[in-house]
Amino acid sequence: MRKSGANIRFRECYNLVTKRGDELCKFVECENLFEEETLVVYRKYATLFFIFCVDKAESELGIIDLIQVFVETLDKYFENVCELDIIFHMDKVNYILDEIVVGGLVMEPNNADILAALAATKREEYGYRPSALPQMSRIMPASR
């Protein structure tokens, strides 16, 4: 089976991060992994690695904080997040990340606001709006 260039880069990035000791800093410069000057910033939570590949112009500590907000939001949404939550609910994970980062800029660092947006989306997706009920009574006359 032939691997794509992206899969090879992901594997190399994972190998780079997992072989580093816990006492080392959580960001690594990757000169030959990507075409541009890229910085790999990561955090390990239990058995999960959260790895962000960013431009060297980004603040390393800002990305560490971003990872923290992302993981805290996942943990609150999934009520103690684990690997299976991420694997089987990748759409929700991507939605959470999209709520935090828009167009490469961190837009929402408050996980309470992110969770509120998720709840609103869930209501729109799966349920009806109770506010629509009074409007229906005005349109349809009551039966006698």
pLDDT in tens, 77-119: 999 888 999 999 999 999 899 888 887 778 778 888 888 888 8
Find, among 75, 35, 69, 74, the residue nearest to 55 by Cα.
Answer: 35
- The count of residues in the chain is 144
Per-residue pLDDT tens over the stretch 49-80: 999 988 888 889 999 999 999 999 999 999 98
In angstroms, the CA 38 to CA 54 distance is 6
Q: Is the pLDDT of residue 129 over 80?
A: no
State the pLDDT at residue 94: 92
Q: Is the pLDDT of residue 137 over 80?
A: no
In angstroms, the Cα distances linking 81 to 14, 76, 136, 141 are: 20, 8, 41, 49
Find the mean pLDDT for residues 5-24: 84
In angstroms, the CA 92 to CA 111 distance is 14
State the pLDDT at residue 23: 87
pTM: 0.76
Q: Which domains does the chain have, with CATH numbers?
A: 1-58 (no CATH), 62-144 (3.30.450.60)
Find the mean pLDDT for residues 117-135: 68
In angstroms, the CA 100 to CA 109 distance is 6
State the pLDDT at residue 141: 45
